[in-house]
Structure 1
Amino acid sequence: MKNKRSFRGVIMRSFIGYTFGIALTLLVLELLFGLLTWKNGMNFAELASSPLAKGTESLQVTLSVIWILITAAVYVIGIALFGRGINRKLMEPVRKMEEGFKAVTSGDMEIKLDFETETEFGEMRDAFNYMARRLKDAEEQRKRIESERMQLFSHIAHDLRTPMTTISGYAGALAGGLVEEPDKQREYHLAIQAKSGQMNQLIDQLLAYSKLGAPEYKLKLAKVDLVELLRVSCAALFGEIESKQLSLELQLPDQPVFYMSDPLEISRAINNLLTNAIRHNPSGSLLYVGLTDESGRIAIHIADNGAVIPESIAGNLFEPFVSGSASRSASSGTGLGLAIVHKVMERHSGGVSVLNAASPYTKEFVLDFPKK
């Protein structure tokens, strides 16, 4: 890589070079003129100051004028070449950068400066191209976030419409006295209660997802025993596990495994995975919960032998309102559970993935915690 020259160095080198060139040109011309006047019996060095010799007055005047014109022409040409060189080395990059800034200002993020230079303009060119690339990436990210936000609003409206319609219809029927049988009234009341709970669950998960995505939200980190956290989470959902007659295999280390994390958010992620496994698998399914403590990471494993996740949605499973079932509308889930898990792990500099599990299980969710 060539060493960059400073603006001052380029100007000084050019000035010295052109000055030397002008002086050398005038010296050569003076020698040629001296030879010419010597052949005509005149001393060129004394041409301007010596008295005009008789019979040579006209020639001396002509030669003096020609010499003055040649000298002026040499200086003019030298200055013009000097200015052209400076313009090419300094002003041309300035013009290119001005055009680049105008293009970025007008919204053209595809602009790229590619002029050649040996001065600091090379660093400025590279900095401009880096800035333009970052602005382009930021604009693409903004558009992607805006698109995700619009999809989020659309899915929220979709998921709220069904329970709202049910609640409105049942409440209208009860208020209008259309349902007289006590058993039927109780059925309607229970349906309203269930749909209200579904809406509350959606709103709670939406608030959790929005909170985790806010830049100003800070985790409340503490030294947490992940083994105990898993035990507590499984115990809290043991009633649902029993009601679905699931066979739970729990493989946890005997010793505590500590990690700096937010216990509330990690519990939320674990509970979302366990709840999905319980609610979206048939009765009598197998459920596995384990933890491995390796040299470079800690991993929580939650596996089951339920239906395999379709390949068509496996790639975007952790995006908002995506469910592992073929039709999310037929499921009781809100579609935000796995997106929240992804956000929680992202906040902890970790990750979540879904893998094919070893028999007798079919799929396995893994929460990765990197050791720092």
Structure 2
Amino acid sequence: MKIVNRFLINYILMFIISTMIAIVAFLLLDFANDVISKTLVKNNYSAKTLMRDDYKSIDIQSVLDNGGGVQVIGSNHDVVFSEGLNTFTKDKLTAAEFTDFLIMSKSIGIPYSYSIEYNPKERFWLIVTFPTSIRIDFAIVHNKDFSSVDTQNVVGFLIAVIIFYLLSLGICTIIYSKITSIGIVNPLRKLCNSAQSLRNGDYSARVDLNLKNEFGELEDTFNAMAQQIEEEISLRRQSEENRKKMVLDISHDLKNPLASIMGYAELCRNKQDLSNEERNSYTKIIYENSVRANNLITDLFELSKIESSEFKLNRIKLDVCEYIREEIGMVIPIFDRAGFTYDFNIPEAEIFTMIDTVQMDRVFQNLVANTVQYNPQGTRVRISLIEQTDKIVLFFKDNGIGIPTEIVKDIFFPFVRADSARNSQTGGTGLGLAIVEKIITAHGGNISLKTDENRGCEFCITIPKI
């Protein structure tokens, strides 16, 4: 059942129940009025029960004890006797004034209760007055011994009032149920439409309800979920594209060395009259291409291993300053052979961190290999380390040829090379920096690159300290 119809049914049920409650409440009030009326002082000491032909013999003490009063009005409308509470302001009334009093005594809402009885024999009115502290005046009186046109008019009027009440309440119930349902159905409809868009592949779908209630919270939750789905789908697509690109790059980089190996191996096999010099040259080419293919496969295996969910670092606690100094000691001969100059700035203080030395050795080796392989003699290398509040920052900087700024954002992706013309024969495997980035990330750190062509490179590595 739709929510609109459910609201309508619920409000109709509420309307029926509230009407029944009103009827029961009215009956209870009528019953209470009947019970209470029997205990009221004004009903126990009415003028009719107190009436005597000789008004002087009337027992008025009980009336006075209950805060009431007794007045006797003679045939000339003068007050001939008065004891206790007296609401008359003068002792002599005109016929009109007394008539007004008689009419007023039957009015609803006056602060006094009057009981009036006429003695036709002695020709006087006996009036018993009690103050009213609180009173409910509501009653429908039907004299079944007498029927007139007034009866039909009153009954018709009452029926019309009841019908008008029921129609008005019913119409208001329907209108209110519609208004209430709109405040719920419209947000739900927008949420359903956006959810349908998500299901159909539109991951940019969002909900804009602009509400501050529970629907507003649902809107925030839905939009956060849609944002997460969109990001995950985008990452999945990017990952799939990267996978396809990596397969293509692997195929391309393996094709050339394998083709050379096959070609020269076939030449050595089929051409028996090769001189020793030619045969040695060919086998050297075969060996070099085998090394290149092996390096590519090895790096690819290392990258896959690091990206695996089962990969775990074997971290140990050590003084990172001492560790960097040991690494520098091993790479100085490499810089010397390449004709590089260098300087180092490593603090003497002990700074401890948790690292996997085997994997961090690979980081150093890759950075040094890239620097030496792609920069000319005379390049200056600077390695420095600084300590911050909760991390260690290692800088690896050179003033070599640099890297074009347009590929800096992709430099840590597999098979991204500074020179697009390079491949596994003319350069590295294209996986070194990707491996470096994965290792640093696994340590809870990050690596960034500042560079420009002909201005050198500066790698900045941060690692949490302990």
| TM-score normalised by structure 1 residue count | 0.77
Is the 1:52–1:60 Cα contact (8 Å) retained in structure 2? no
> Comparing both chains, which one has the higher relative contact order based on Cα–Cα distances under 8 Å and sequence gaps of 6 or more?
1
Counterpart position of 2:426: 331
Matched residue, 2:148: 54
Corresponding residue for residue 315 of structure 2: 221
Give the corresponding residue for 1:363: 457
CA pair 57-252 structure 1, distance change in 2 beyond 3 A: closer
Structure 1 counterpart of 2:436: 341
Q: Which residue of the partner structure matches residue 233 of structure 2? A: 139
Residues 280-291 of structure 1 correspond to what in structure 2 (within 5 A)?
280-291=374-385
Residue in structure 2 matched with residue 308 of structure 1 by the alignment: 402
Give 1:269 shift.
Answer: 0.9
1:199 pairs with 2:293? yes
Distance 2:352 2:248 in 1: 41
CA–CA separation in structure 1 for the residues paired with 2:398 and 2:187: 63
Where do residues 168-179 of structure 1 align in structure 2 (5 Å cutoff)? 168-177=262-271
Residues 242 and 144 of structure 1, relative CA distance in 2, 3 Å threshold: same
In structure 1, distance between residues paired with 2:169 and 2:195 = 37
What is the count of residue pairs matched by the alignment? Answer: 337
**SS of match in other structure, 1:315:** helix
**Which has the larger helix fraction?**
1
State the superposition RMSD in angstroms: 3.6
Question: Counterpart in 2 of 1:7?
Answer: none
Give the aligned residue type for 2:302.
A
**Residues 288 and 303 of structure 1 are in contact (CA less than 8 Å); yes or no, is this contact kept in structure 2?**
yes
Which runs of no fewer than 5 residues in structure 1 stay unpaired?
Answer: 1-10, 24-43
Q: Is the 8 A contact 1:223 1:259 kept in 2?
A: yes
Structure-2 residue corresponding to 1:104:
198
CA contact 1:322–1:328 (8 Å) conserved in 2: no
Alignment match of 1:66 (pick from 151, 160, 185): 160
Cα 1:64/1:140, change in 2 over 3 Å: same
1:356–1:363 CA contact under 8 A, matched in 2: yes
| Change in CA separation of 1:313 and 1:268 when aligned onto 2, cut-off 3 Å | same
Stretch moving more, 110-119 or 316-325: 110-119
Give the counterpart letter for 1:334 in structure 2.
T
Flag structure 2 segments of 5+ consecutive residues without an equivalent: 1-9, 23-137
Deviation at residue 116 of structure 1 after TM alignment = 5.1
Report the CA distance shift for 1:256/1:168 in structure 2 as closer, same or farther (over 3 A): farther
Q: Structure 1, residues 274-328: CA drift from partner, whole Å, max 9, x if none?
A: 1111222234543333333345542323333321222232332222212233632
CA contact (8 A) 2:403 2:451 kept: no
| Contact 1:163–1:198 (CA under 8 A) maintained in structure 2 | yes
Distance 2:169 2:235 in 1: 57
Give the CA deviation at 1:172.
1.1
Taking the aligned partners of 1:287 and 1:121, their CA distance within structure 2 comes to: 59
- Residues 1:351 and 2:446 are matched in the alignment: yes
Greater Cα offset, 74-83 or 227-236: 227-236
- 2:444 is paired with a residue whose SS is coil
Match of 1:246 in 2: 340
Alpha-carbon offset, residue 157 of structure 1? 1.3
Higher alpha-carbon deviation: 142-151 or 269-278: 142-151
Residues 114 and 285 of structure 1: is their aligned pair in 2 closer, same or farther, counting only changes over 3 Å? closer
8 Å CA contact 1:48–1:64 kept in 2: the answer is: no
TM-score by structure 2 length? 0.63
- 347-356 or 184-193, which moves further after superposition? 347-356
Query: For 1:112 and 1:311, how far apart are their aligned partners in 2?
Result: 35
**How far 1:206 sits from its partner (Å)?**
1.6
- Determine if contact 1:318/1:342 at 8 Å carries over to the other structure: yes
Aligned partner letter, 1:183: E
Work out which of the two has the higher radius of gyration on C-alpha atoms and give 1 or 2: 2
- C-alpha distance in structure 2 between counterparts of 1:257 and 1:119, whole Å: 52
Contact 2:401 2:456 in 1 (8 A): yes
Q: Closer, same or farther in 2 for the Cα pair 1:126/1:308, shift >3 Å?
A: closer
Q: 1:368 to 1:88 in 2, by over 3 A?
A: same
Corresponding letter in the other structure for 2:394: I
Indicate the residue corresponding to 2:357 in structure 1.
263
Partners in 1 of 2:294 and 2:391 — Cα distance? 36
Q: Is the 8 A contact 1:225 1:257 kept in 2?
A: yes
In structure 1, distance between residues paired with 2:273 and 2:352: 57
Letter in 1 for 2:175: L
Q: Tell me if structure 2 keeps the 8 A contact 1:47–1:60.
A: no
2:306 to 187, 212, 218: 212
User: Match for 1:151: what amino acid?
Assistant: K
Cα distance in 1 for partners of 2:412, 2:247 equals 17
SS in 2 for 1:110: coil
CA distance in 2, matches of 1:348, 1:237: 23
What residue identity is the alignment partner of 2:263?
G
Between the two proteins, what is the percent identity of the paired residues?
Answer: 27
Secondary structure in structure 2 of the residue aligned to 1:309: coil
